[in-house]
Structure 1
Amino acid sequence: MVRKGFKMKLYPGMEKEYEKRHNELWQEMKDMIHEYGGRNYTIFLDKETLVLYGYIEVEDLEKWDKSADTAINRKWWDFMADIMETNPDNSPVCIDLQEVFHLD
């Protein structure tokens, strides 16, 4: 199992909408995340900076990376692009974080 940490950023005023959309996460997205080996997925919000901090455990990084190219993932990116910083392909601007400590 690989632990991944990353950060993204919301546009101002989009905190409630972001949470709403994730509380209504499409079943197809849930299924895809699990199909590509994602588990224990959590996203935290720093309300002062609007930075989102994500954590997910993945079975295999190569397999997980392929999830970005699925049709449902691309559809999700398009759906979320109006409320957060994105790249030209609507993928979220996502910066990986370096793990510096872990305790089970």
Structure 2
Amino acid sequence: MMIRMAQVIGLKPEEMEEYKRLHADVWSGVLAKIHDCGIRNYSIFLREPEMLMFAYMEYHGDDWEADQAKMAADPETQRWWAINEPKQAPLDTRAEGEWWAPMEEVFHVD
């Protein structure tokens, strides 16, 4: 099964250069865990001057919740998130418990 997913979040302007630097050289263990959890074709885009980031990924797996729990339990991923999450600015309109706000797919063509 393959599911396309998109998410949005803000980025603190004063953190932009460091966030870009970190993502230009993502730790190999984090990349391996992303792959291990069934995520493929993962991209993050930045829209300036609004400082909005858009993430797109494809999930190739059978249990999103279990794969997300496995990722969240990974110590290296936890360290990565601890560095990067303070640089992000979640949307005020996100649902309770969300960090990146999911987006609805309204059109797709192959």
1:82 pairs with 65, 80, 86, which one?
Answer: 86
- Of all paired residues, the percent bearing the same amino acid is 28
* In 1: Cα distance, 2:40 partner to 2:7 partner: 15
Deviations 1:6-40 (A, max 9, x none): 01111122222111100110000010000111110
Alignment of 1:1-104 (within 5 A): 1-60=2-61, 61-66=64-69, 67-85=71-89, 93-104=99-110
State the TM-score, normalized to the length of structure 2.
0.81
2: distance between equivalents of 1:52 and 1:64? 23
Equivalences, count:
100
Give 5+ residue unaligned stretches, structure 1.
Answer: 87-91
Assess if the C-alpha contact under 8 Å between 1:9 and 1:93 holds in 2.
Answer: no
Match of 1:19, SS state, is helix
**How far apart, in 2, do the equivalents of 1:100 and 1:69 lie?**
32
Report the TM-score when normalising by structure 1.
0.85
Equivalent residues of 1:46, 1:52 under 8 A apart: yes
- Structure 1 Cα separation of the partners of residues 20 and 13 of structure 2: 14
